[in-house]
A and B are shown apart, each in its own frame.
Chain A
Amino acid sequence: MSAAAPPVRRRSPKAVERAEGWSRRAPLLPALAFMLVVTQLPFLFTVYYSLQSWNLLRPDSRSFVWLANYAAVFTDAQFLTAALNTVLVTASCVLVAMVLGIALAMLLDRRFLGRGVVRTLLITPFLILPVATALLWKNIMFDPVFGLIGFLLTPFGLGDLDWVSQYPVVSVVTALVWQWTPFMMLLVLAGLQSQGRDVIEAGQVDGAGRWQMFVSVTLPHLRRYIELGVLLGSIYVVNTFDTIYMMTQGGPGTASANLPFYIYQRTFLGFDIGQSAAMGVVVVVGTIIVAMLALRLIFRSFMSVQEGNQ
């Protein structure tokens, strides 16, 4: 083979292209491999565990039960409650935060004295340790005896309402909305600032009213940003664990447990590895089904916003 080779090493164009393709791809591989090992591999194990009856408290009883865990998941009333709570918390938090975020962004989208300071103030809730935010709302704002909310609502006869135990989901959503509104605000603000001034001025010259301007010019322009905010907000909020852990522990009973918290309970308090793995798989399949459409949409709005900015 080597005897027949020409003195000058010449590779076919295809080989050159392939080599170039590899050199272009090589820098990507470490990151890709790392992500595969740390996220995909564990998931395969989750699927494997989900087919077994395995409780860490009874290590000798480990055995294959195939789909029995899945049957148990779908007949578990608490699991269904948790799934419902997840949807409820995520949807209400994202919607309320988005509406407030749009309102705040509109207020900030003009020049005024101390604009930077107000913006800095407004984003602060997003930067506070989420665990601390949860405690702040539970012990300092919502406390029935010493809480600020109770003090402010005393004139309305709601002074000693125990928010966290009577309305646990509302309390959790309140803390989450406070935390996520700044994010929505920043996103919408970025959208507003990418809007051409001339369009607005043209509208003003045409004599369009403020509300009319907002509905017919600003909102359509903001659509991509709102879409992106809702999708990203959902991705982050659906996995909420810290706020529920700190504020309600899923309680009273399981009234405010969402899926991450319920699965945590089954894993780390019940040590039921097989059962909680099955729940994990169900959650992933559910997420994939919900996300099938959304993921396409996410990808499109990611790409379009990114491209649109270039």
Chain B
Amino acid sequence: MTTAAPARPGAASAPRRPSRSTARSRRGHNARASALTVLTWAIGIVFVSPALWLVLTAFKQESDAATSPPTLFFQPTLDRFRAVLDAGFLPYLGNSVIATIVSTALVLVLGVPAAYALSIRPVKRTQDALFFFISTKMLPVVAVVVPLYVAAAEIAMLDNVWTLVVLYTAMNLPIAVWMLRSFFLEVPKGVIEAARMEGAGLARVLWSVMLPIMAPGVAATALICMIFSWNEFFFAVNLTAAQAATVPVFMVGFITSEGLFLAQLSAAATLASLPIVIVGWIAQRQLVRGLSMGAVK
């Protein structure tokens, strides 16, 4: 933002208007600005209102949730959250936590060295490798799910959380490589050269020279991978059952709950989303970078 391109001649030294009209136009400008601020706030609240309504409903009794017209004022209760926990939510949560954390760790273990290799001396092969990684994101999951299902069944890995760990790692690795590479490109070349001159091996360079500089970037990458793993549904619903099902699969139980368990549905949805909403709020500046695989800062 601050690295504005070299100013165009004339732009910086543009003649200023006489001060009296500036004062008047500033007052008009201020009114306009406040109106725009109010409008922006209003649009923001309207846009997010379904989510706000969801959270509100989570604190209702079922009798307050399913009313027509909708109820805005009610006696808030935590009963529905309790009901969700009683319905066996925690094992799903445990599976989600394992699948998310372990796959993210694996992505970093595989992705950091790969991104490092792709960030030094760009050559034709580098382009090919980057191209390969991005092309795997274009491969529709439906095209590989059949053999994956058959293979998992064959080696008795169906309904196993480690199957999800492997698949989520593959799902996030291309994003992570692209994103991490864009962070590596920002590290001054001199730093790496100097470390190499002193005879530091790859592991040393990565661990004690690059990682301290890269820490925020690595953290951002990890957060993005966590969001994707947590939200993943296709593999989770097709390759797991009672043992390894994750939080999104828990939500399947509410598909037919029209008007019946609206409050409990809302409580479950709130609990299921909360970890990632918080992670996403923290990582919001890096969100675009992750989703665009490092292309946009």
Instruction: Determine which of B70, B166, B291 lies in contact with A183 in the assembled complex, contact meaning CB atoms within 8 Å.
Output: B291
> If A129-B272, A132-B251 touch, does A43 touch B143 (CB 8 Å cutoff)?
yes
Instruction: Report how far A105 CA is from B50 CA in the complex, Å.
Output: 20
Interface residue A264 (Cβ < 8 Å from any Cβ of B): yes
Kindly state whether residue A170 has any CB partner on chain B within 8 Å.
no
Residues of B within 8 A of A19 (CB): none
Q: Give the chain A neighbours of B51 by CB distance below 8 A.
A: 124-125, 128, 136
* Chain B residues within an 8 Å CB radius of A310: 185-186
CB nearest to A136 among chain B residues: B54
A301 interfacial by beta-carbon distance below 8 Å: yes
Report how many A-B pairs have Cβ atoms within 8 Å. Answer: 328
A49 to B48, CA, bound (A): 45
Q: Which residues of B contact A120 (CB under 8 A)?
A: 281, 284
Interface band, chain B: 35 or more
A262-296 interface (Cβ within 8 A of B): 263-264, 267-268, 273, 276-277, 279-281, 283-284, 287-288, 291, 295
Q: Is the CB of B265 within 8 A of A139?
A: yes
A246 to B41, CA, bound (A): 31
Q: Indicate whether A124 sits within 8 Å of B277 (C-beta atoms), given known contacts A34-B110, A295-B135.
A: yes
A178 at the B interface (CB under 8 A) = yes
Q: A49-B150, A125-B48, A241-B234 are in contact. List 13 more A-B contacts (CB 8 A).
A: A24-B117, A30-B114, A34-B110, A35-B133, A38-B169, A122-B48, A137-B50, A139-B265, A280-B142, A299-B131, A302-B178, A302-B292, A302-B293
Nearest 7 A-B pairs (CB), nearest first? A27-B113, A45-B147, A132-B269, A127-B280, A31-B114, A280-B143, A38-B170
Q: Which A residues fall within an 8 A CB radius of B?
A: 23-28, 30-32, 34-35, 38-43, 45-46, 49, 104, 107-108, 110, 112-114, 118-132, 135-137, 139-141, 143, 145-146, 148, 151, 178, 181, 183, 186-187, 189-191, 193-194, 196-199, 201-202, 205, 225, 228, 232, 235, 238-239, 241-242, 245-246, 249, 259-260, 263-264, 267-268, 273, 276-277, 279-281, 283-284, 287-288, 291, 295, 298-299, 301-302, 305-306, 309-310
